[in-house]
Amino acid sequence: MFVTTSNQLGVLSIADPRSPVLTSSQPLTAGALPAAVALAGNLVLVADREGGLYLFDDSACAASGCTVAFTPVVPATGVTGAAVSFQGTYLSSGCTATPTFDWDFGDGSPHSAEQSPSHTYAFGGTFSWSVTMSLPAKTVTTGRTITIASTLPPITSPGAYAYVVPTSAHTGGLNGTQWVTDLVLTNPGLSDAVARLYFMKASQDNTTAVAHPVVVSLRQALKLTDVLPTTFLVPSGSGAILVGSDVPLIVTSKTYNQTLAGTYGEAFEGVPLGQAFGPGQSAWLTGLSQSASDTTGFRTNIGVVNAGPHWVQVAIALYGSDGTWLGTRTMNLDAYQFQQMDRIFVGLAPSGVDGGYALVSSDTPGAVLFAYASVIDNATGDPIGVNAAVPPTLP
């Protein structure tokens, strides 16, 4: 609304009638005695007993009469993995433009320009959110906090969709190699996904592994560079990764050796949990080579993951390219444990192996297993990743 005093025309916001606010003003002639104020289209008319009639363009004096009361409605609490509703509720008067919105959810995720978005927090904690509503002549910013409770599932219940990345590392290796792993999660669906990542560390029972949630926005790919220290806060080590989600994902990884000349690496896909092999099945790893020297030719490492909640015993039978049995290695794996045997042919083939293979199997009831091999160039540290192949069971 417009008000006058002895020397100015003012624009008063009464969005909150209990607390009027002077939003702008225009000066009148010194000594003016305004008697009345009126609107005529875009003109503001002020009658002055002494000076006659003043005419003002309401846009020129920012006195369009647009008033806004903005009160966003946001709950004070929420739960990790569940969508929270952020409602941009406002009342306006005399405004012709459509307001724009900028929501900051306080967790480092992308902002939203929707009036009333929903947002899923991947982590528990207290977050300071804010929202800015903007009009051509007015901007309002407000915010508060929301507390998110963490109810992340255990590794035994990762979600409707689960994938196993059989190897990852942040560690040194033979011949000065330095191995790190990048993990990429791609969401091909039509809604944001909250992925739960579980690290299955080498040589230990990982039943109590803690979920590390990340948000994968719809139709986007999330790259987690050097995933062990950056996501799992593991400064050094190796292990497998279990990825759980309530919507389908595409999971890929690259484990590579860092050198001054660049990187050399191997890619492994996240294999659906339902494609594990168990009792009565053998996983084949082919194209394996190992030279008699540690500095020339190749070496072969084989890793096995127990993605089940019980102890299992695993046998790795090794063969030359002509089918000659060279020997069998065994592993005892606790629940959700990863283990890798380096230079696995050492002591079994003194003259080396070229193009051999391995059969990985277990007779332990309930075994849930994944396997892979890395055939590494001793001179360069360049690895070739070998995925396990499980032929159909013969009648």
- For the segment 359-383, the average pLDDT, to the nearest whole number, is 95
> β-strand 43-48 against 34-40: which pairing, if any?
antiparallel
Q: Which residues have C-beta within 8 Å of that of residue 17, sequence separation ≥ 6?
A: none
- 69-149: which CATH topology? Immunoglobulin-like (2.60.40)
pLDDT of 64 higher than 90:
no
pLDDT of residue 91: 79
Buried/exposed 120-155: b ≥16 CB within 10 Å, e otherwise: bbbbbeebebebbbebeebebeeeeebebeeebeeb
pTM: 0.67
Q: Tell me 275's DSSP state.
A: G
Q: In the chain, which residues fall in CATH 2.60.290.11?
A: 162-272, 276-387
Q: Tell me 228's DSSP state.
A: H
Q: What are 277's strand-pairing partners? A: 369
pLDDT of residue 294: 87
What SS3 class is residue 321? Answer: coil
Q: What are 145's strand-pairing partners? A: 128
As a whole number, the mean pLDDT across the chain is: 87
CB 72 within 8 A of CB 141: no
Question: Tokens 């002055």 — which residue?
Answer: 48
Which range is least confidently modeled, 25-29, 43-47, 358-362? 25-29
| Residue closest to 231 by CA, chosen among 78, 149, 339, 123 | 123
CB 107 within 8 A of CB 121: yes
pLDDT class for 230, splitting at 50, 70, 90? very high
| Residue scoring higher pLDDT (103 or 28) | 103
Encode pLDDT of 277-322 as tens digits.
999 899 999 999 999 998 899 999 999 999 999 999 999 999 999 9
Encode pLDDT of 123-135 as tens digits.
888 899 999 998 8
Q: What are 300's strand-pairing partners? A: 375
Pick the CATH number of 276-387 from 2.60.290.11, 1.10.3720.10, 2.40.30.10, 3.40.630.90: 2.60.290.11
What SS3 class is residue 229? Answer: helix
CB 375 within 8 A of CB 298: yes
Which range is least confidently modeled, 63-67, 109-113, 207-211, 350-354? 63-67
| Residue closest to 124 by CA, chosen among 152, 148, 153 | 148
pLDDT class for 50, splitting at 50, 70, 90? low
pLDDT class for 60, splitting at 50, 70, 90? very low
pLDDT of residue 180: 96
Report the C-alpha gap between 50 and 47 in whole angstroms. Answer: 9
CATH entry 2.60.290.11 includes domain 162-272: yes
pLDDT of residue 22: 63
Please state the three-class secondary structure of 53-77 as a single string: EEEEECCCCCCCCCEEEECCECCCE
| Residue closest to 105 by CA, chosen among 135, 79, 126 | 126
CA angle 77, 79, 84 (to 5 degrees): 70
What SS3 class is residue 382? Answer: coil
Q: What percent of the chain has pLDDT over 90?
A: 58
pLDDT of residue 53: 64
pLDDT of 94 higher than 50:
yes
